[in-house]
Structure 1
Amino acid sequence: MADTLVLRRVRRVSGEEIDIVIKNGVIAAITGPGQGQAEREWDGSGAYVSSGWIDMHVHAFPEFDPYGDEIDEIGVRRGVTTIVDAGSCGADRIADLIASGKQAKTNLLAFLNISRIGLLRIDELSHMEWIDREMVKQAISKYGGSIVGLKARISRSVVGDSGVEPLRVARELSEATGLPLMVHIGSGPPDIREVIPLLARKDIITHYLNGKKNNLFDDEGQPLPVLTDAVERGVHLDVGHGTASFSFRVAEAAKRHGIDPDTISTDIYRGNRLNGPVYSMGHVLSKFLLLGYPLEEVIAAVTTRAAAWLGKPELGRIREGEIANLTLFTLEDGPVVLNDSEGEERTASQVIQAKGVVGNGEFIECEIRA
């Protein structure tokens, strides 16, 4: 007998209440509430359903310390059905990362670090000889189905005396391979005004809401011209919260000027999963509710907009006949204290709590954080 599950009386973010019937991992029917028929059911009264959350910036290679974690710990167990590892591995270890992804319940994609050593060291772009152009191209040729772009971390502690030169090489590699760049920004040098003009349409600025001195807003909260120019030419803005890269103050300035995130990502790894300030995708999304973004816009940033950037629109929709990748979540009443990466606290009246996922057709309950 076919294995069937009905998600009973779940709500889309629009408020529409539905039943979703899943048969052998595929969405078999989307019906009115209480109408779906199946062997098993999950009572979703009070819960929302969206297409599976996509986290565009994680670190999922546990062998690297401090920036590593287990794939499913930061994926399905926290409501995320697809993760994109943001350059943990270069050409030396990308095969190992992709192999581990095949054993996980969470879908794994990756940005390839332009440094062949990846995050084996946290100054991986401080020696230009670690950027091996041929190894980059060979890795893409072999693992192109899993590699979605190139990653370059362009901040002082990473590049050392190399300055902006690693980004110039990354730009050349992007043009040679046809893959976009994800560029980490942080403390200078190099100055942010040297970095951003090198980015092109579809490239990603991650950590764009960081509160460091070398950030994208001036002392009055006005966006720098390099940022507004980048937005106009189609550069993609990603949050990449992380341990040190999200500021409430900067996020409020960005919102005032309509410079909103294209995608919301966590930059999660073991340390900030266990000790904060990240904890989970739901925790990070709650900060954007607190900032005044509507629920539909917040969820779009981890579903339809992320899927569109990846060129995988099927990951961002709920449709009969397709493999079920879904996230189930609730809005829980506060008060709950939320922290940014600068140590600033805000009190939220509501937070987003992932309850479960259907990942590639399999129902998995999420780990609940108190």
Structure 2
Amino acid sequence: MIDLLIKNGRIFDPGQGLDFTGDVAVHKGKILALGENLPYAGERTICAKGFFVVPGLIDVHTHVNWKGNYIGMPADLGCIPNGVTATIDAGSSGVSNYQALLQYLNTCEVKSKIMLHISAGGQIMSKQFPENINPRVWNIDLFERAFEQYGHKIAGIKLRISQNVVGPMKLYPLKEALKLAEHFHTKVFVHPTNPPVPMETAASLLRGQDVMCHMYHGEGHTILENGKISSGIWEARKRGVIFDVSPGKGNFSIRLAQEAIRQGFLPDTISTDLNIENWNDPWDFSLLMTMSKLMALGMTFQDVILSTTVNAARLYGDEEMGTLKPGTGADITILDLASQSIAFEDKYKNKILGKQALRPMATIINGKLLYCSSDTLAER
């Protein structure tokens, strides 16, 4: 008798090149086996007929500092009912308060890491109170302590280079943050909406595996120059710079994204920028709805699954995630690719009509069934 048996689902794992109808056996928190008509009985059996069974989805850009700052979203509530098994908090805290966030996240079922904000207090109230990112006030000793004790939980360093944040310093904080990241052998996550310089100028400073967030933002300088993806942006991708969607409510342009995708500039990772202000909001409903929106804009089902599993796991820094390989941790998402007319809109009133929507059917983390739709009970 095994713990959990998922029956007759369409097993789709782009990392392993798998796409077939069969079963998944889960026992003691691990994936035991994949195959057709597996000879196991499960203490719990899920009928996944007609649904996709994919590696657990990873949302690499959220704000889940619940009760810790203005926009903090409850991590489990925002993730688990939407098929998300792991997330990275996007700089909600800095060296003065990150331990409280880590303590809270340790109480959650969803797996998590954090971006450590370059500002000591993190992003508290981004619109009303831009963070102080002046390198002159950085406490390097506190960074040393954070990475020494909690480096395994820190995905990288976060900073915003929007004009209202950097002011006359322009790219000076970014240059200094890159030096700091080099010292700690970690990534830099950059929020570039309305940057003080062309996007390709900012991207030219980034190293391979650094992350450009909000890649399809439409404020000020963007990744498009004269209607085309700028050569410097293509060069950054060739160097290994990671481009992430993280749309939020205000960092996404449907028209720009559609044109960029048409030109072949797809995201490496898809995330939400989920926070308490945009949870269940039409602009940024959930990770699955963001994936559905990008499918409406020209990405394929395989594209969006690859971006939220294999690529996201690589960014997260855990080789056992983003796969259904036997022996790895049983983080699994079951979803429905439903035929559904759905209108997506951005803050500029641009609209795109999608014909398909991804819907969550079940979420499994470390072999534990934490969410299950009643649709899995229906006879099909």
TM-score between the two structures when normalised by the length of structure 2: 0.91
* 1:207 pairs with one of 191, 196, 214: 214
For the 8 Å contact 1:17–1:33, the answer to whether it is kept is no
Look up the match of 2:165. Answer: 158
Tell me by how many angstroms 1:163 deviates.
2.1
2:191 corresponds to 1:184: yes
Deviations 1:39-84 (A, max 9, x none): 2211111110111001111111023544311111222221110101
SS at match of 1:271: coil
Look up the match of 2:152. Answer: 145
- Return the letter of the residue paired with 1:335: S
SS at match of 1:144: helix
- Return the letter of the residue paired with 1:21: A
Task: Measure the CA separation in 2 of the matches of 1:160 and 1:105.
Answer: 40
Task: Measure the CA separation in 1 of the matches of 2:347 and 2:20.
Answer: 36
Deviations 1:117-161 (A, max 9, x none): 101242113544443222222211111010011111110222234
- Return the letter of the residue paired with 1:243: K
* 2:204 pairs with one of 193, 197, 210: 197
Look up the match of 1:84. Answer: 88
Task: Measure the CA separation in 2 of the matches of 1:305 and 1:188.
Answer: 26
Look up the match of 2:8. Answer: 9
SS at match of 2:93: coil
Residues 104/181 of structure 1: CA separation in 2 closer, same or farther (3 Å cut): same
How do 1:1-370 and structure 2 match up within 5 A?
4-13=3-12, 15-33=19-37, 35-122=39-126, 123-125=130-132, 127-218=134-225, 220-365=226-371
Tell me by how many angstroms 1:193 deviates.
4.6
Task: Measure the CA separation in 1 of the matches of 2:185 and 2:165.
Answer: 25
Residues 294/121 of structure 1: CA separation in 2 closer, same or farther (3 Å cut): closer
For the 8 Å contact 1:247–1:340, the answer to whether it is kept is yes
For the 8 Å contact 1:246–1:342, the answer to whether it is kept is no
**Gapped regions of structure 2 (runs ≥ 5):** 13-17, 375-380
Task: Measure the CA separation in 2 of the matches of 1:201 and 1:323.
Answer: 28
- Return the letter of the residue paired with 2:6: L
Task: Measure the CA separation in 2 of the matches of 1:257 and 1:72.
Answer: 36
Task: Measure the CA separation in 1 of the matches of 2:34 and 2:296.
Answer: 32
SS at match of 1:313: coil
For the 8 Å contact 1:164–1:194, the answer to whether it is kept is no
Task: Measure the CA separation in 1 of the matches of 2:372 and 2:191.
Answer: 29
For the 8 Å contact 1:64–1:119, the answer to whether it is kept is no
Give the stretch that moved more between structures: 51-60 or 70-79.
70-79
SS at match of 1:16: strand
Task: Measure the CA separation in 2 of the matches of 1:293 and 1:188.
Answer: 27
Segments of 4+ moved more than 6 angstroms: none
Tell me by how many angstroms 1:274 deviates.
3.2
Tell me by how many angstroms 1:34 deviates.
6.7
Task: Measure the CA separation in 1 of the matches of 2:45 and 2:356.
Answer: 27
Residues 262/93 of structure 1: CA separation in 2 closer, same or farther (3 Å cut): same
Task: Measure the CA separation in 2 of the matches of 1:362 and 1:100.
Answer: 20
Give the stretch that moved more between structures: 106-115 or 357-366.
357-366
Percent pairwise identity: 28
Give the stretch that moved more between structures: 45-54 or 125-134.
125-134
Look up the match of 2:377. Answer: none
- Return the letter of the residue paired with 1:342: Y
- Return the letter of the residue paired with 1:85: D
Give the stretch that moved more between structures: 124-133 or 4-13.
124-133
Tell me by how many angstroms 1:330 deviates.
0.3
Quote the RMSD (CA, aligned, Å): 1.9
Deviations 1:200-253 (A, max 9, x none): 1111100011111221112x4211232122112111111111111111211122
Give the stretch that moved more between structures: 151-160 or 89-98.
151-160
For the 8 Å contact 1:9–1:34, the answer to whether it is kept is no
For the 8 Å contact 1:329–1:354, the answer to whether it is kept is yes
For the 8 Å contact 1:185–1:205, the answer to whether it is kept is yes
Give the stretch that moved more between structures: 170-179 or 191-200.
191-200
Task: Measure the CA separation in 1 of the matches of 2:252 and 2:3.
Answer: 42
Look up the match of 2:15. Answer: none
- Return the letter of the residue paired with 2:59: D
Residues 64/195 of structure 1: CA separation in 2 closer, same or farther (3 Å cut): farther
